[in-house]
Amino acid sequence: MRDFLTVFRYEFKTQMFKRAAIITMLVIMAIMVAVTSLPRIIALFDKGDADSPLDNGISQAGYVQAEGQAQALLDRILGERARPYPDRDALVQALEDREVEVGFLLGEDLSYEVLYQDRPMDDRRDSLFADALAQYRREQLLMEHGLSQQDYAAIENSGLTGHTTVLGQNSMNNYMISLLMMILVYFMVLMYGSSVSSIIAREKDSRTMEILITSTRPTQLIIGKVAAAGLAALVQFGAIVLVTVLGFQLNKSTYPPELLMMVSGSLTPAYILTYAFFSFFGFVLYLFLYAALGSTVSKMEDLASATGLVQFLFIAAYILSTLAAQMPGSALAVTSSILPFTSIMVMPLRSAMITIPLWELLLAGALMLLFVAFFAFLSIRIYRWGSLNYGNKTKLRRIVQEALRREHR
């Protein structure tokens, strides 16, 4: 136990104070602060609707002088900041000279033309102008039939009343939240898995492993390294989650009701429990895989090719999770949510989409625990094998066979 704590403390300190990990954590925390504060930032720069329905850059709009009712209508829609021009040619010239960005022509019969010199991709001033004219047309028709705006509103709101109740999971609300949480797991596994494998490979490359293996049992070395990496990941990514939650709570009042409903509907106790279980134990499983593969190389330059298989498995799990989000009830989604190598990503995302049968959760959970125990045992044996074997590359299948054949000492 004393040796385990020694290994654990040393590796934990190494993981926590690694410069790359600290910089990555601070950058992600800054991004999450910015994202959670985005509605408040937008509100600071939003000037609001000042004079007219078309106040989106209306100071850079122009119109052709009309007479009578049409002129009054233009004043009502465009406000006082729009620039008048005597005819269409003058308005076109103003657009070419960049005096205005958009021009409006309105006839007595409410026919209209909207002119742009260059139209921005997100410009909606033509559609806003059309909506304002449509509203004016409705008012005219109501007056012709002796109806008021209140009468029209009463007719519009006289439809049937009802609501939708979702007894299980609401996929429309849950998808984005669950996908973001899966991306968090994705980065956590790749970052700390690579770190564990590189630490072990570096020890073997520098012959430090030979010294460690004589004073400490392989079990204590592997478990200590994995436990330290796991706790460091929980602390660092837990800090990111904490900052995100605090940012959300501080800016909650600025969020639209639809977003608040989506968050509250997604983060249910059942989903959080499923996410925590499969993400944590799946993370530990991949740490043992990275540790085992890091023990198989004798040189640091061979590490990338050795860990390629586990990276392929994890990327495949991520791809399957995106497919499962589209077809959560398919055979592929069910199978990949039960298999331990892919359930780390698929089961939490799938549980956000539909209600998972209890037997699937129990089976997937039991297999996950069984695989964690087996690969912990296997990584310890491979680490022991690796400490006694240097030199030429050996096929992974033979390494596993030799490691399992050896007596544990």
Model pLDDT, residue 371: 93
Q: What is the DSSP string of 187-212?
A: HHHHHHHHHHHHHHHHHHHTTHHHHH
> pTM for this one?
0.66
What is the C-alpha separation between 165 and 356, in angstroms, rounded? 19
- Could you report the per-residue pLDDT of 217-238, keeping only the tens digit for each? 777 788 888 888 888 888 888 8
What is the reported pLDDT for 409? 44
Among 195-209, 295-309, 332-346, the range of highest mean pLDDT: 332-346
Q: How far is CA 107 from CA 37, 90, 161, 196, 241, in A?
A: 46, 17, 41, 74, 58
Check residue 69 and give its pLDDT.
59
CATH no. of 58-153:
3.40.50
**For 140-173, how does the pLDDT look when each residue is reduced to its tens digit (9 = 90+)?**
787 777 777 677 677 666 666 676 665 556 565 6
- The structure tokens listed for 72 are 């009054």
Write down the pLDDT at residue 269. 79
Those residues whose C-beta lies under 8 Å from the C-beta of residue 213, and which sit 6 or more positions away, are 221, 384, 387
Q: Which pLDDT belongs to residue 408?
A: 44
- In this structure, what are the phi and psi dihedrals at residue 100, rounded to the nearest 5 degrees? -135, 160
Residue 215's pLDDT is what?
63
Tokens of 21: 């990990």
* Residue found by looking up tokens 């030979």 in the block: 210
**What average pLDDT does this structure show over 376-398?**
71
- For the chain, give the mean pLDDT: 78
Query: What span, in angstroms and rounded, lies between the C-alpha atoms of 103 and 49?
Result: 20
Q: What percent of the chain has pLDDT over 70?
A: 77
Environment class of 121 (CB within 10 Å of its CB; exposed 0-12, middle 13-18, buried 19+): exposed
| Whether 384 contacts 220, CB under 8 Å | no
SS3 307: coil
Residue 255 is classified by DSSP as S
pLDDT band at 56 (very low <50, low <70, confident <90, very high): very low
* Least-confidence region, from 45-49, 192-196, 227-231: 45-49
Q: Is the confidence at residue 87, as pLDDT, over 50?
A: yes
The mean-pLDDT minimum among 37-46, 65-74, 144-153 falls in 65-74
Return residue ranges of the chain for CATH 3.40.50. Answer: 58-153
In this structure, the number of other CB atoms found within 10 A of the CB of residue 156 comes to 8
Return phi, psi of residue 15, to 5°: -70, -40
pLDDT for res 365: 93
Q: In what order do the strands lie in the sheet with 102-106?
A: 83-85, 61-64, 102-106, 112-116
Please report, for residues 11, 27, 100, 156, the alpha-carbon distance to residue 21 in angstroms, rounded to integers and kept in the order given: 14, 10, 51, 58
Residue 1 or residue 27, greater confidence: 27
Summarize the confidence of residues 292-312 as an average pLDDT. 77
What's the CA gap between 185 and 345, in Å, rounded? Answer: 8
Residue 284 to residue 295: CA distance in whole angstroms: 17
Copy the structure tokens of residue 57: 């850059």
Q: Is the dihedral of CA 261, 264, 270, 276 positive or negative?
A: positive
Residue 290 has pLDDT above 90, yes or no: no
What does residue 84 show for φ and ψ, rounded to 5 degrees?
Answer: -85, 150
Stretch 198-212: mean pLDDT: 67
Which pLDDT does position 228 carry in this prediction?
86
